[in-house]
Amino acid sequence: MSIDPLQWRIGLVGYGEVGRILAEDLRARGVARVLAYDVKLGSGAERALRAHAEQHGVELAPSHAAVSDAAELIVSAVTASQTVPAAEACAPALRRGAWFLDFNSASPAAKQHAGAAVESAGAAYVEGAVMTSVPPYRIKVPLWLGGARAVELQPLLMALGFNARVASDRLGVASAIKMCRSVMIKGLEAMVIEAYTAARAYGVEAEVLASLAETFPGIDWEKQGAYFFQRVIVHGRRRAEEMREVAETVREIGLTPWSASATAERQAWVADLADGGVFGAKEDEHFGGSDDWRIEADRILRARKAHIV
């Protein structure tokens, strides 16, 4: 295997928002061959995926096996619930000595199960915990690595443009960092949507935001609220899956995950509204929420009155 990672063939399992960003940045970095597979190929989303791949010089593969067989580095960027199934689907075709970087938001136990599947094929599994939203940072998003060979992969990822640090040589530690953080971050998203929408219904949003600003003056609650609404409207389904993994992480240490479980429900609830067209058509290029969170809160309230919620 080439020791220059820019000469590697890199396979992406999952060609959603994160996968497409990584593909763009890897190609811009000089990686000549980037392959991708997504379970949405063959669905109504295929046309958009193929258009993006053609624009950025990415080869779309027909299966997990086709990507795994061709690549020196696999990056798995699927939804949380598919973390283990994706690893198991790739494992039989993985090259001996290949790297498998698991980018997914899953519990430590899920990462350990995925790692066992990959390593049984003779490949090297490294977990990656993405520590904030990908789009603003793109490939430079802060990334914690974990696993017995994380220290070997870290400089190679840096050469590819990633911003990676090693958390531990024990598999599951990096994911624990991510999962515990998500209790707070995704929970705050859910609380903002609930609090702001309720405040809007009662006509007290100005007073609530003023009180928040007085208590936490370092946060622009107007801007932060709009951002949270936008992210959950677009990615609520994926966030709900992640929060179910967070709940499992908490449950694994013997705590009842009341907060994480409730956050998962609120995220999924917003995703259901989005699927139902409450926030407009997903095919619309402007879909994703307004810069004014009040517009989205009013849509939720109208849906409630119409008994859609």
pLDDT digits (tens, 9 = 90+) for 113-157: 999 999 999 999 999 999 998 999 999 999 999 999 999 999 999
Q: How far is CA 148 from the centre of its chain?
A: 24
- The number of angstroms, rounded, from the C-alpha of 120 to the middle of its chain's C-alpha atoms is 26
Q: What is the pLDDT of residue 281?
A: 85
For residue 139, what pLDDT is reported?
98
Q: Which of 66-80, 156-170, 271-285, 292-306 has the lowest mean pLDDT?
A: 271-285
Does the structure show a pLDDT above 90 at 57? Answer: yes
- Residue ranges of the chain assigned to CATH 3.40.50.720: 5-170
Average pLDDT (47-57) is 95
What does pLDDT average to over the chain?
95
Question: Rounded mean pLDDT of 204-233?
Answer: 97
CATH code, 5-170: 3.40.50.720
Of the given ranges (13-17, 42-46, 58-62, 99-103), which has the lowest mean pLDDT? 42-46
Task: Write the pLDDT tens digit of every residue in 66-78.
Answer: 999 999 999 999 9
- Angle 75-136-224 from CA coordinates, rounded to 5°: 125
> Could you tell me where in the chain the CATH 1.10.1040.10 domains are found?
175-305
CATH level 3 topology of 175-305: N-(1-d-carboxylethyl)-l-norvaline Dehydrogenase; domain 2 (1.10.1040)
User: Taking the model in full, what pTM does it have?
Assistant: 0.88
pLDDT average, residue stretch 205-220: 98
What burial class does residue 242 get, using C-beta atoms within 10 Å of its C-beta: 0-12 exposed, 13-18 middle, 19+ buried? buried
The token pair that represents 31 in the structure block: 């990686």
